[in-house]
């Protein structure tokens, strides 16, 4: 059986390749992929920034939805045509992190779409224990947002967001916006900091207060909102040095700073501020299975407004245009690739 896959060749070069589909092995299912999302990590790979980890010929992608197409030996509990998504993390089960119950940050973690073939293929064989069922009524394009929503759910849970907390989210891209949405679901008071006017307009349409850091003193505004106390929690999602500074400066005494963005180089941090206000710093990486289950519920219920967050859907043949649209930084939030015409 023939199939197609998006293959990374070199920096700024991906190709759609014809392949022969393999039958699922023991413990695997084969998924007819419906939609895949392109995320910031995929862009890093596309730019050649991860060549030490992702070699030429790799199949990209980890945000996805689809339907069970075939079932491998020894697999039970699934049916052909069942809508599913995948939690794209493989842990070793025996390292110190796994033994402590933190398999999502396994020392030997393999991430599908980076360390092994990913979801940008029309037929995808994956271990059955990484597959999660989707509600039948959930549109599959909306379901492709489950993975990034899982990130936001994990980040908010890691931060311990509670009703009434004042939360500042620095960075209004897809993940920052999703964090703001999930935090508001926890009845926190949320302010999003984002220089791009389109992203601020999206936030405003979703009922999120959004500030332009070039036009507003974010620290002073936070003080006004909190009677001089500062924010209880700040999420740094911008990946910029200025974002780190803002996130530290807005925090109240014993405030919590949650590092979400991947910073490729060390950043200057005001450790005096950390000392003076007894701040806490948290890393937030990936997600756990309960986070994914919660994300499915949020997307299926409409609590996450998928239609407003999906800016563009392109067919597989236009994958170059899909990457270019996200790379442009224009009026785009989430970009999806549509594989349905290639499914059985």
CB 104 within 8 A of CB 150: no
- Hey, what's the torsion of the CAs at 108, 114, 117, 119, to 10 degrees? 120
Using only the alpha carbons of the chain, give its radius of gyration: 20
Told to judge if 41 belongs to the known catalytic residues of this protein, a careful annotator would answer yes
Start-to-end CA span in the chain (Å): 10
- Quote the tokens at residue 39: 């995320």
Closest by CA position to 180, among listed 218, 142, 149: 149
Under DSSP, is residue 42 helix (H, G, I), strand (E, B) or coil?
A: helix
Question: Looking at 20, 36, 41, 104, which residue is catalytic?
Answer: 41
Let me know the angle formed at the C-alpha of 152 by 150 and 157, rounded to the nearest 5 degrees.
Answer: 95
Look at phi and psi of residue 302 and say left if phi exceeds 0, alpha if psi is from -120 to 50, else beta: left
Told to judge if 222 belongs to the known catalytic residues of this protein, a careful annotator would answer no
Strand boundaries in the chain, DSSP class E: 2-10, 13-20, 28-38, 58-59, 63-71, 83-86, 89-90, 110-111, 123-127, 131-133, 166-170, 189-193, 209-211, 231-236, 251-259, 280-283, 310-315, 334-338
Sign of the alpha-carbon dihedral angle for 196, 197, 201, 207? positive
What are 188's strand-pairing partners? none
Which residues make Cβ contacts (< 8 Å) with residue 218, sequence separation at least 6? 168, 193, 211, 246, 249, 250
Question: Looking at 20, 36, 44, 246, which residue is catalytic?
Answer: 44
Residues with a catalytic annotation lie at 41, 44
């Amino acid at each position: 059986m023939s199939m197609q896959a998006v293959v990374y060749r070199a920096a700024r070069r991906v190709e759609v390749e014809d392949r022969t589909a393999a039958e699922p092995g023991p413990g695997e299912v084969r998924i007819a992929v419906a939609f895949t999302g392109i995320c910031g990590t995929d862009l890093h790979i596309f730019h050649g920034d991860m060549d030490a980890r992702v070699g030429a010929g790799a199949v990209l992608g980890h945000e996805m939805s689809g339907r069970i197409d075939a079932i491998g030996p020894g697999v039970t509990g699934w049916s052909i045509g069942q809508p599913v998504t995948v939690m794209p993390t493989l842990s070793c089960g025996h390292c110190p992190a796994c033994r402590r119950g933190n398999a999502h940050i396994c020392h030997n973690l393999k991430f599908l779409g980076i360390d092994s073939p990913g979801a940008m293929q029309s037929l995808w064989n994956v271990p059955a224990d990484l597959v999660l069922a989707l509600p039948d009524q959930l549109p599959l394009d909306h379901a492709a947002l489950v993975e990034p929503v899982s990130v936001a759910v994990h980040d908010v849970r890691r931060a311990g967001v509670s009703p009434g907390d004042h939360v500042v989210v620095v960075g209004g891209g897809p993940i920052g916006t999703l964090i703001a949405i999930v935090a508001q679901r926890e009845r926190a008071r949320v302010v999003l900091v984002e220089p791009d006017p389109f992203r601020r307009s999206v936030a405003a349409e979703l009922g999120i207060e959004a500030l332009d850091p070039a036009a507003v003193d974010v620290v002073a505004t936070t003080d006004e909102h909190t009677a001089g106390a500062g924010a209880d929690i700040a999420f740094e999602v911008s990946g910029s040095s200025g974002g780190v500074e803002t996130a530290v400066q807005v925090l109240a005494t014993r405030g919590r700073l949650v590092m979400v963005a991947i910073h490729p180089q060390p950043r200057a941090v005001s450790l005096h501020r950390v000392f003076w206000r007894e701040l806490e710093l948290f890393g937030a990486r990936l997600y756990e299975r309960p986070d994914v289950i919660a994300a499915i519920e949020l997307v299926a219920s409409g609590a996450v407004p998928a239609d407003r967050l999906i800016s563009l859907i392109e067919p597989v043949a236009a994958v170059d245009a899909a990457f270019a649209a996200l790379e442009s930084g224009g009026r785009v939030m989430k970009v999806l690739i549509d594989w349905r015409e290639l499914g059985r």
